[in-house]
Structure 1
Amino acid sequence: MATVILTEAAAYEVKDMLNSNDMAEGYLRVSVKGGGCTGLSYGMSAEEEPSENDEVLEYYNVKVLVDKKDAPILNGTTIDFKTSLMGGGFSIENPNAIAACGCGSSFKTKDVAGTPENC
């Protein structure tokens, strides 16, 4: 089972987004796909319900979905929401990432290089 940690600040933002999209009972999907300068990139989306391949986690009353194929890459990842004078945004810290691109939007792990694209 994967451990993807959603901080209280991130959960608050996700819950707000789900509510504003009439998905109060929805789920946050955290995923990994090929792409970006380094080979892998993160995805976050709203889902109505889990699929049979999903692990379901819950933090601060927000249900998080992780596909079992993405679980090893995401295990131990923390998702936070940070605000600054320039605005706010989600930050993702993945202990499995061994390299990231300069813009910070893609990464690779020791075991999975992904499919790099030109940035």
Structure 2
Amino acid sequence: MKELPLTITPEALKATQQIMQSKDIPAKYGLRIGIRGKGCAGSQEFLLGFDTPSVQDQTFQYEGLPIYIDRAHLMYVIGLELAYETDEEGNQGFAFNNPK
């Protein structure tokens, strides 16, 4: 199994597992990480979802969680951190951070 190209915080892992359990997502599904196009500043919009693997995917395992990333998207996620954060107003959600 290949090394995961990004870091997943413990909070993000826990939130992912809780979502999968509360939404009754089947065990054959894993976390899909991808990108969609480019924004007006040339940056990518990162996507998260639950899916089964496709032939274009690179498959990873992290703490028992299958993670699927399209091979064409790998270069865009290398070095990123997937976090689950709370903002000043108490809103919670996933965030892709670039620690560089």
If the length of structure 2 is used for normalisation, what is the TM-score? 0.79
Match of 2:56 in 1: 53
Aligned counterparts of 1:59 and 1:68: Cα–Cα separation in 2: 18
- RMSD, aligned α-carbons: 2.1
What's the offset of the Cα at 1:21?
2.0
What's the offset of the Cα at 1:28?
0.8
Structure showing the higher helix proportion among its residues: 2
- Structure with the greater alpha carbon radius of gyration: 1
What's the offset of the Cα at 1:74?
1.0
If the length of structure 1 is used for normalisation, what is the TM-score? 0.68
Aligned counterparts of 1:60 and 1:13: Cα–Cα separation in 2: 13
- Given that residues 31 and 67 in structure 1 are in contact (C-alpha distance below 8 angstroms), is that contact kept between their aligned partners in structure 2? yes
What's the offset of the Cα at 1:7?
1.5
| Residue segments in structure 1 that go unaligned for 5+ positions in a row | 97-119
- Given that residues 8 and 60 in structure 1 are in contact (C-alpha distance below 8 angstroms), is that contact kept between their aligned partners in structure 2? no
1:91 has 2:95 as partner: yes
Aligned length: 95
| Residue segments in structure 2 that go unaligned for 5+ positions in a row | none
Identity of aligned residues (%): 22
